[in-house]
Chains A and B, each alone.
Chain A
Amino acid sequence: MLIDFFLHLKSRRLPVSTREFLTLLEGLREGVCSPSVDEFYYYARTCLVKDEAHYDRFDQAFGEYFGHVTEIPGLEAELPEEWLRALARRLLSPEERAKLEKLGWDKLMEELRKRLAEQKGRHQGGSKWIGTGGSSPFGNSGYHPEGVRIGGESAGNRTAVKVWEKREYRNLDDSVELGTRNIKIALRKLRRFAREGAAEELDLDGTIAATARNAGWLDLLMRPERHNAVKVLLFVDVGGSMEDHVRICEELFSACRAEFKHLEHFYFHNCVYESVWRDSRRRHGERIPVSDLLHKYGPDYKLILLGDATMSPYEILHPHGSIEHMNSEPGAAWLRRLLDAWPSAAWLNPEPEHLWSWRQSIGIIHKIVGGRMYPTTLAGIEHAIRDLSRKH
């Protein structure tokens, strides 16, 4: 019972577990939802999906399973009763209803099974077979009082498109591009609380232990408060091909600023060379030697590079390859230095992941950063953050 549905969800990469499936069945037995497909949809979603980011995937899978039922010939035996019951919809006014033959529920189901078996190939119009249009009680866009709608758009008598077909949760899906809210949430996973600074908080457990050791004489212990102790260095590629990604960089940047107390940011163009800058308006005047940075910030900083890594391979691999100035050492050498100084590092690339393999320079940088290149989708950032928060 409904096992196929469950397996279908699983195959659509929804993280559903057996326990949740059993709860679903328990609820059906208890009569939590009435036998209408809408309520079943809501109940199944409440029960099986635990993250709004998966709502859209669930909607699609639900719709697919729905459509699936009509497409496989000879499936009549497997049609679960709940489904058929749930599919039943009464669309027309009482007069119209009276005009058409009423089959009654059991008869309707029986007919449906029979016709599913009889039907060969696609059918449209007419009044007997399942297909689109026509006045047979089966199939969609039909005008039969006890019609059963299976997938597709309905004739529009009432709420034509089902909830899951609207796909209202599409923008909550974590494999699509982000908004500021999403980024902040992703970055929050990098929080690591630590006690640093002045001792201002009463350490109760410590006090009790110390007092006990002191044979009952009070011995107050203080300790520093907890703060987010993560330190981040952010290197952002600006100009040139990055112009296309300005919005996402801004969002990511502002989310980082809001989230991390210790955040240092620097700009570079295409690849990091011997100097970077902090203020784009004064990029030619006030440049900061990278070697200073290497000495200034300790290995406890996390390194995030944000760039599309799209350039000529010469700009990475050859001395004097930079398009802006004469660099005595290749960009690759500088990149390796950064990675050595801050082993906990990630490269975020706003280019869509499927394009990476078509750009030679992306491949080179991907190799230099040891495969730690992630797309700037929510899932990509989460992956990067998980990697960064691991101990190195």
Chain B
Amino acid sequence: MRFEGSQAYVATPDLLLAVNAAVRLQRPLLIKGEPGTGKTLLAEEVAGALGLELFQWHIKSTTKAQQGLYEYDAVSRLRDSQLGDGRVKDIANYIVKGVLWQAFESEKPAVVLIDEIDKADIEFPNDLLRELDRMEFHVYETRETVRARHRPLIFITSNNEKELPDAFLRRCFFHYIRFPDRETMQRIVDVHFPGLKKALLKEALEVFFELREVPGLKKKPSTSELLDWLKLLVAEDIPPEALRSKDGKVIVPPLAGAMLKNEQDLHLFERLVHMARQNR
């Protein structure tokens, strides 16, 4: 099983190697990187390319490690007991399987995405150490042990909001998705907009990378913003010349709002453009 990138996802050689190492050695792969560089998408693409089922577990600040294994729905059972429902006698009726349990049970090898692990409580990764290591856990209520039929391939993404514990990190492979350079970006855009006119793309990339260089932006536009913007440019049928004015003056590119989503950033940018124009 080797991942070689996919139709819709351009992976750099270092990322490919990290994914394949994780596949080969069956270690979880921890992915970090700027927002919008395709961290979450990676798991979907790998699952698609390798023909594996994907189980997604999106983490929130209130998520507990236990919820990924199973939950005991005590409230339903309590309600049923008050109504005199017969199902109450078997506690197994009230065990709700979590994402990891489902993946462990899967007939064929699966991919599990633990998305934004840093959103959870600081103890969350530690609570999953043994489960990820051994790929098994014990269900206290029914006294059974659930073991993975096939070790699933685990992708974990993080936005760096919390530091992850060392013990957890040692068990993972790690990859930091760097912001793509111009060449890679060109390939990414080609994959998403195969018919895009060369001239428009060239101008658009120029504008995009210049925009990223603007000092003081709160949120630099990332890959997904570029793709959105291109989509709009194509939809509105904007000619490449419109991205640059004829007299060589600096202009605010059309639909810049797709790339600068922060009002202050947009304001700052417009002011800079205005200043640049006056200097000419």
Contact = CB atoms under 8 A, between A and B. Distances in A.
Given A185-B160, A188-B162, A189-B163, A47 B17 contact: no
Interface string B127-155: 00000000000000000000000000000
Contact of B25 (A26, A38, A55, A189): A26
A289 to B, nearest CB: 35
Given A23-B25, A33-B17, A46 B161 contact: no
B82 A27 contact: no
Interface in A228-267: none
A189 to B, nearest CB: 7
B164 to A, nearest CB: 8
B272 interface: no
Interface string A185-228: 10011000000000000001001100100001010000000100
B17 A43 contact: yes
A46 B21 contact: yes
A321 to B, nearest CB: 38
B249 interface: no
Interface residues of A, number: 37
Contact of A27 (B24, B175, B176): B24
Contact of A47 (B74, B162, B173, B218): B173
B1 to A, nearest CB: 12
A15 interface: yes
A30 to B, nearest CB: 5
Contact of A204 (B24, B30, B74, B160): B74
Interface string B151-186: 000000000111110100111111110100000000
A39 interface: yes
Given A49-B174, A50-B172, A38 B13 contact: yes
Given A32-B20, A50-B174, A42 B14 contact: yes
A169 B171 CA distance: 23
A226 B122 CA distance: 14
B77 to A, nearest CB: 10
A107 interface: no
B39 interface: no
Q: Which of A23, A169, A207, A226 gathers most chain B CB within 10 Å?
A: A23
A20 interface: yes
B262 interface: no
A351 B82 CA distance: 68
Interface string B175-200: 11010000000000000000000000
B78 interface: yes
22 contacts: A19-B170, A23-B25, A26-B25, A27-B24, A27-B25, A32-B24, A33-B17, A39-B13, A42-B13, A42-B18, A43-B17, A45-B14, A46-B14, A47-B21, A47-B173, A50-B164, A52-B32, A168-B178, A180-B218, A189-B162, A204-B74, A207-B75
Interface of A: 15, 17, 19-20, 23, 26-27, 30, 32-33, 38-39, 42-43, 45-47, 49-52, 55, 163, 168-169, 172, 180, 185, 188-189, 204, 207-208, 211, 216, 218, 226
Given A46-B174, A216-B82, 10 more contacts: A32-B17, A32-B24, A32-B25, A42-B14, A46-B14, A46-B18, A46-B173, A51-B169, A55-B176, A218-B78
